[in-house]
Chains A and B, each alone.
Chain A
C-alpha cells in the first residue's frame, strides 16, 4: 500500500441541523488525483475547508502530508499543503506579479528565489502580458489563474481544489489542471464531475457525510457508467449491492 498523503478519521461537522460530515473516514495515497463529489453538495466543500484549517470539525482527526494543521511554520504547512477556494480570494488591486510575490514572501523565500519561482509560474500558467496590471482589470479568470499559480508557487505536496477555475475557458482550464505536478496529491471538489473526471484518476462520493464510494475513475468506464454525478452514484449503489470493489491507487 502506498503511503497516505491525506488521512481523515471520524470527521464530523454539521451546519445547523444538517450533518455534512458524519464520522468520515478517508485515506488518499501519495500522488492520487481524487475527484470528490457529494450529496449534499456542500459536504465536499466543507471537507476541503476542514482539511485546509479554515473550518473546525466538531470531531475527528486530520493528517495532511504527515502534518497536523497545528503546524503553522512557513517551512511546514505553507509549503507542503495548499487550498484553492472557488473565488480568487486575493486583493483585486494586486497585480498577478504582486500576488505571487506576496505568496513567496509569506512562504519565506528570499528575493532571488521568489523571482525565479514567479518567472516560472508566470510562464507555466500563461499569466500573459497583464502581469503588472491589477487583477480586477483582467476579470475573474485572471484572478483564479493567479490564485492557482500562487498556490503552486511552493510546489505543495497536497493540493486542495474547491471548484477551481470555473471562470476560465474549459480547454485552458483542463490544460492548467493537467499542469499540476505528477507528484502532487490532488483533491478536487466538483459539482460538475463530468467536466473533471478526465483529469483525475480516483473518485470518491460522500453521502450524508459518509464515504459511499472510493474507486478508480476507470471503474466507471468498466461498469459502463458515465463520469457524471448519476454515474458515480450508480457505481456506489452497485458496490453497496455487493459487486467487488477495486482498491483505489
Chain B
C-alpha cells in the first residue's frame, strides 16, 4: 500500500509539472462556465428542442471528460515510450500497480475538478432544480464522475495499445463520441456507462434521478473495472 501511495504521488507530480493537471481542472471548470456566467444561454436547439441549461452543462462535461480520457491515454503510452514504466518495472513494481496508480491519480484530479464544476454550475441552475433536490444533484454528479472513471479507464486501455498521438486521437474520438451521444442524444439512446450525463442533461424533468443515477454509476464503475482488467492484462504482456 505504501508503494501504491508513492506511485500515486509520483503520478500527481508528473501531471502537475507537465501542466496536464491544470488542463484537466481548467477543462472541467470551463464546462460549467457558459451555464454559470451567461444569464441567458444562446438560443441553441437540438433536434428542434431548445437546449436547457443542464443539457448544456452535460455537453460541456462530456467534452471535458473526453479530454481527461485522451490525456490518460497519452500519458500511459508516453510512460511506455520514455522508459519510465520500465524503470519502475525493473524495481519489481508490478505493471498493474503502476496502471492503478495512474488511474488513482486521474480519479483524484477528476473528483476535484468535477466537484468545482458542479458547485459552479449548481449556483446558476434554477432553484427548483437544485435547491429542492440536493441529494439528487449529488447522486447525478456521482454518476457523471463514474462515467469519467470509465472514460479514464478506456483511455488507459488505449494507451497500452497505441503510440501517444494515436492513442490520444483514438480516445478523443471514441470516448468523446460516446459521451456526447449520452449528453445530447435522444432519451434512451445513451450508452449505460455514460448515462450519468443523460441523467444530468434531463435533470429538470427527471422523475427518478437518484435511481437513474445509481444505476448509471453502478454500470460505469463495472465497465471501468472491466476496462482496467483488460488494460492490466495487455500491460503485463507487452514489451517495455
Contacts and interface: CB of A to CB of B under 8 A. Distances in A.
Nearest to B88: A106
5 contacts: A71-B92, A89-B84, A91-B14, A91-B84, A106-B91
Nearest to B87: A89
B239 A89 contact: no
B90 A83 contact: yes
B124 to A, nearest CB: 39
Given A91-B10, A105-B3, A106-B3, A85 B86 contact: yes
A49 B84 CA distance: 14
B14 A105 contact: no
B240 interface: yes
B82 interface: yes
Interface string A69-99: 0011110111000110101111101000000
A108 B3 CA distance: 8
Contacts, number: 61
Interface string B71-98: 0000000000011101111111110000
A107 interface: yes
A209 to B, nearest CB: 17
Interface residues of B, number: 22
A223 interface: no
B237 interface: yes
Interface in B1-35: 2-3, 6, 10, 13-14, 17
A85 B10 contact: no
Given A56-B237, A89-B84, A105 B89 contact: no
Contacts of A103: 91
Interface of A: 49, 52-56, 71-74, 76-78, 82-83, 85, 87-91, 93, 102-103, 105-108, 147
Given A56-B239, A89-B82, A106-B91, 19 more contacts: A52-B90, A53-B89, A54-B239, A54-B240, A55-B239, A74-B92, A82-B90, A85-B86, A85-B87, A88-B83, A89-B86, A91-B10, A93-B13, A93-B14, A93-B17, A103-B91, A105-B3, A106-B3, A106-B92
A54 B83 CA distance: 10
A150 B55 CA distance: 52
